[in-house]
Chain A
């Protein structure tokens, strides 16, 4: 990351990359990756490269609230020539509690200075949920609550990017019973311009692509109803999965470590949530496009879906348990029990009926003939 003291802060992006030893070949490679991630036609590579060469590095403020720092980790977890490296060079990352050299009041002074000098021009990246319960006391930095900091920083920002599930919609912090009252940025600070990059963690390639899009076209990419970029969240994982052929063929992993699992068959029966998850995980992948969960043999947990911790669990069953029937009673068991009960009741009724026919009076002799049914004609 850049330090506030480094002179390269004032350089254009191209010069900054040169200072960092990133040659043109690497730079064009990065541009191609970004264009591919954004699902743009290849002709845009030149446009992206031109734009990124001339643009002044955007100023970025990275806020971290209730979370596990997994999104920062995800950003760093890459090798050269890495997207993370590119992103860090692409940006003038002025404030990031985990990465910055300064600490305490010095760090806080940096944040205040950046906001003062670049009011309405910097981009705020938020990682982690914002707890609102009890006045927001469950997350404070330097004596200030998360909601207080977020409101000040995000309201003064050009745009806010919420990275990870927690910053988007509360994530695991907001999972039931949510004791701290955690919510996402969009909900905590209403009225700001937010791009949500859900996922646990966010994929740095997508974050870089959003920024590249912004720097090239001067606007944020097309967003869905959750303010997530469509290029990353517009397609179902199941439809992009490399194991999809096994699904259609009917070859499924029956249990962990079985023959099918070793041969890379479909993880559908192990509770894979790919069919109801949207993300570009299978194409962008992780750790410099090395792998992604399904490729490594574990089902998707739909981490980029709304409120995934509550709505997509249990992660190892295909459909959720029925409320009121205790833990681990699948709906199929309840269904078969119900069918069995109806069958038993029907059989019992049949036996009762067989007994009744032996000694009941003939229909004409009873008082229960048609006349008794008070259906005396409706015409």
Chain B
């Protein structure tokens, strides 16, 4: 990081260790999900309410929008499957247990994080990976993504389904009427929008508070962590250092 007065307040200490936290599959899955969600939301809003008035006899707006929507949907499914595989194959900060506060320590850290956000605590407790509150939020996002995928596949199956897809998802239309599947599929999109706003804000905020280079880390994979924090988390010498 460049040294200078502007960055002084957010610069890591010289003694802090550069740790490879986010592996390439994690970062790629993250950015593919971001891209897909933006594209899916835009095309989805159009499909819900076609706001582009096409008058030309050569136009193919809805057809194109639906094609892009369906294709990015399948890209999103692939990225998510990849990420779920990395829950088990990835490093300790990519693992599935980062997203549910199973241990007493993580529950306590989650409580502290809530207190920090609620102005009941001056500083957040620095974390190497996800802080447990953020992890729980991402767990909810994964859940919403799964709902979107299931409802989306059911709607796709209604128009362009085949035997294999129908045997996989056909039960859903029997359980919930197509109309309500559409409503759920559309309504959840707003939750992603709301999440995006909060997510970007809290990423910038915590990046400044922790001085860990958190914002850079989703591009580079590296965070700056104090040696004390590393030893407290029991990372020790096993961590990949550069």
**Chain A positions near chain B (C-beta within 8 angstroms):** 236, 238-239, 247-252, 254, 268-269, 273, 275-276, 306-307, 311-312, 318-320, 322, 331-332, 334-336, 338-339, 341-343, 346, 349-350, 352-353, 356, 360-361, 363, 366, 368-370, 372-379
Contacts of B105 in A (CB 8 A): 374-375, 378
State whether the Cβ of B186 lies closer than 8 Å to any Cβ in chain A. yes
Are A370 and B126 interface neighbours, CB within 8 A?
Answer: yes
Q: Which residues of A contact B158 (CB under 8 A)?
A: 236, 275-276
Contact: B233 with A322, CB < 8 Å?
no
Decide if B205 is an interface residue (CB 8 Å cutoff).
yes
A250 touches B50 (CB 8 A): yes
Is the CB–CB distance between A377 and B231 below 8 Å?
yes
Q: Is the CB of A249 within 8 A of B49?
A: no
- How distant is B185 from chain A, measured CB to nearest CB, in Å? 9
- Kindly list 4 other residue pairs between chains A and B, CB separation below 8 angstroms, not including A361-B122, A368-B123: A250-B62, A254-B53, A332-B186, A363-B122
Q: Are A312 and B125 in contact (CB under 8 A)?
A: no
Could you say which residues of chain A place their CB within 8 Å of the CB of B205?
350, 353
CA gap between A372 and B122 in the complex, in Å: 12
User: Is B61 engaged at the interface, CB distance under 8 Å to the other chain?
Assistant: yes
Given contacts A236-B159, A249-B60, A249-B62, contact A332 B49 (CB under 8 A): yes
Q: Cβ of B61 and Cβ of A250 under 8 Å apart?
A: yes
The reply to whether B187 and A251 contact each other, CB–CB distance below 8 Å, is no
Q: Is the CB of A250 within 8 A of B233?
A: no
Residues of B within 8 A of A366 (CB): 122-123
- CA of A32 to CA of B48, assembled, Å: 41
Q: Are A250 and B234 within 8 A (Cβ)? A: no
Cβ of B198 to closest chain A Cβ, rounded Å = 6
Bound CA span A44–B121, Å:
82
Contact of A356 among B63, B119, B187, B232 (CB under 8 A): B119
Inter-chain contacts of A252 with B (CB < 8 A): 50, 53
Docked pose: A46 CA to B178 CA in angstroms: 41
Which residue of the partner chain A has the closest CB to B55? Answer: A251
Closest to B226 in A: A370
A137 to B25, CA, bound (A): 67
Encoded as 1 (CB less than 8 Å from any A CB) or 0, chain B from 44 to 55 comes to 000011101111
Chain B nearest Cβ from A254, distance in angstroms: 8
CB–CB B190/A375 < 8 A:
no
Q: Chain A residues near B130 (CB, 8 Å)?
A: none
22 pairs, CB–CB < 8 Å, chain A vs chain B: A248-B63, A249-B56, A249-B62, A249-B63, A250-B54, A250-B59, A251-B59, A252-B53, A254-B53, A275-B159, A307-B177, A332-B48, A334-B190, A338-B194, A342-B198, A349-B201, A352-B119, A360-B122, A361-B122, A366-B122, A370-B228, A374-B108
Contacts of A273 in B (CB 8 A): 179
Asked if B30 CB lies within 8 Å of chain A CBs, one says: no
> Which chain A residue has the least Cβ–Cβ distance from B66?
A248
Q: Tell me the smallest distance from the CB of A238 to a CB of chain B, in Å.
A: 7
Are A238 and B159 also in contact (CB < 8 A) when A335-B189, A349-B117, A375-B233 are? yes
Chain A nearest CB, measured from B200 CB (Å):
9
Q: Which chain B residues (207-240) contact chain A, with CB distance < 8 Å? A: 226, 228-229, 231-234, 236
Residues of B within 8 A of A350 (CB): 201, 205
- Nearest B residue to A239, CB-CB: B159
The listed residue with most B CB atoms (<10 A of its CB), out of A252, A273, A275, A312, is A252
A379 close to B187 (CB less than 8 A): no
* Residues on the A chain within 8 Å of B201, using CB: 346, 349-350
Question: Is the CB–CB distance between A379 and B236 below 8 Å?
Answer: yes
B23 at the interface (CB under 8 A from A): no
Identity of the chain A residue whose Cβ is nearest the Cβ of B50 in the assembled complex: A252
**Nearest-Cβ distance from residue A341 to partner chain B, whole angstroms:** 8
Residues of B with C-beta under 8 A to A334:
187, 190
* Residues of chain B with a CB closer than 8 A to A368's CB: 112, 121-123, 125
> Residue A318 contacts which of B48, B56, B117, B231 (CB distance < 8 angstroms)?
B48
Contact of B183 among A322, A378, A379 (CB under 8 A): A322
Q: A248-B60, A375-B125 are in contact. Are A346 and B197 (CB under 8 A)?
A: yes
Chain B residue, CB-CB nearest to A269: B50
Closest-by-CB residue of A relative to B177 is: A311
Q: Assess whether B59 is in contact with A370, with CB atoms less than 8 Å apart.
A: no
- Chain B contacts for A251, CB-based, 8 A: 54-55, 59
Please report the C-alpha to C-alpha distance between residue A361 and residue B122 in the assembled complex, in whole angstroms: 8
Q: Is B191 an interface residue (CB 8 A)?
A: yes
Q: Which residues does chain B contribute within 8 Å of A335, judged by CB atoms?
A: 186-187, 189-190, 193
Q: Would you call B103 an interface residue if the criterion is a C-beta within 8 Å of the partner chain's C-beta atoms?
A: yes
**In the assembled complex, B95 has its CB within 8 A of some CB on chain A:** no
A residues near B177, Cβ cutoff 8 Å: 306-307, 311-312
A331 to B183, CA, bound (A): 7
Partner of A249, one of B61, B183, B197: B61
| Inter-chain contacts of A343 with B (CB < 8 A) | 194, 197
Distance (Å) between the CB of A87 and the closest chain B CB? Answer: 32
Q: Which of B179, B189, B191 has the most CB of A within 10 A?
A: B179
* A186 CB to nearest B CB, Å: 16
User: With A and B bound together, what is the CA distance between A332 and B193 in angstroms?
Assistant: 12
Q: Does any Cβ of A come within 8 Å of B27's Cβ? A: no
Cα A24 to Cα B197 in complex, Å, equals 73
User: Which of A250, A254, A275, A349 has the most B CB atoms < 10 Å from its CB?
Assistant: A250
